[in-house]
Copies of this chain bind each other. A is one copy, B any other.
Amino acid sequence: MAAKAAKPKTNSEDYLRMYRQMVRIRAFEDNANQLYLSAKMPGLTHMYSGQEAVAVGICEALTASDKITSTHRGHGHCVAKGAEFREMFCELLGKEEGYCRGKGGSMHIADQSNGNLGANAIVGGSMGIATGAALTAKLQKTGDVTVCFFGDGATAQGLWYEVMNMAALMQLPVIYACENNGYSEYTKTAEIAAGSLPARAEAFGIESFTVDGQDVLAVNDLTQKLVARARKGEGPFFIELMTYRYHGHHVGDINREYYRAKDEEAQWKTERDPIVNFGKWLESEGLASSDELKSVQDEVHADAEAAVKYALEAKYPDGSEVDMHVYAA
């Protein structure tokens, strides 16, 4: 097995990168939301805002050749795994310079150069893909680990149980990361999930963990340990990450009081924000000043704006591309 290990994230440089990555995700989403609201973005999209600590905490424990599979709510994973704003905004706008030449859009954004095997518009649809990526790693002894991101709602898909069983039998280096944001579209998780999620994984002999998904360091610590163990052949693992989405299910889901109270939203945003809280901690530990954090934010915002501007002006793919890439050469 190729010797590989993510650098332990124990110094302020690493902390600041995590902070920056979370800010980048938030900035990306704020801009994407704005593009939608101003009718500049085709289709619709699902905002990751609020869940930043999950994607960043996990992806910072991975190397570039480790793989992830992502979901319909996938911008955060994409940014965290190393993607650039420009190519991402171009993709969201259907432009030729997008990661997928505009063919995938928000729900299929992928960034194979950084090991992101793609968002998926079928809930749970990537669970087999992630497990198969781990199978390649095992067969070809690459040492890579795959993280499969999915939501609480996706645990209702039978596919998960099938691949957990196989991953457990084959001891594959895959980590099933369930982002439990409390909702599956317009429905509370409690109403659609009987029993206990970790128990479901444990029933297959898979070691399971629950972690505060708003705490980037907790997420990162746990993931580092599990990734190291998975590389040694001790996988698979399951992590339930307790988190929250700030926006509606998708950008158009505005009037949502019938399924979610405004108070609840306000509370998460004011008390549990992963960026604000991590920022406070950095300051309190003396690892960064509020000015430093502010300048990170400013830089990121400027980057995002520039990328949006670039993407808005970028060109659409030529019509002749429509039947290109149906088949690989």
Contact = CB atoms under 8 A, between A and B. Distances in A.
Q: Which 9 A-B pairs have the closest CB atoms?
A: A158-B158, A168-B194, A199-B203, A195-B205, A195-B204, A161-B161, A200-B203, A158-B162, A194-B204
Given A158-B159, A158-B160, A165-B195, 20 more contacts: A156-B165, A158-B158, A158-B161, A158-B162, A161-B161, A165-B194, A168-B194, A168-B195, A169-B191, A169-B192, A169-B194, A194-B204, A194-B205, A194-B206, A195-B205, A196-B203, A200-B200, A200-B203, A202-B203, A203-B203
Contacts of A169: 191-192, 194
A34 interface: no
Interface in A180-218: 191-196, 199-200, 202-206
Tallying the copies of this chain within the complex gives 2
A157 interface: yes
A160 B165 CA distance: 13
Interface in A198-248: 199-200, 202-206
Nearest to A165: B194
20 contacts: A156-B162, A158-B159, A158-B160, A158-B161, A158-B162, A160-B161, A161-B161, A164-B194, A165-B193, A165-B194, A168-B194, A169-B194, A194-B204, A195-B202, A196-B203, A196-B205, A199-B199, A199-B203, A200-B200, A203-B203
Interface residues of A, number: 24
A158 B202 CA distance: 16
Interface of A: 156-162, 164-165, 168-169, 191-196, 199-200, 202-206
A39 to B, nearest CB: 38
A200 B192 CA distance: 17
A168 B200 CA distance: 14
A161 B168 CA distance: 17
Contacts of A203: 195-196, 199-200, 202-203
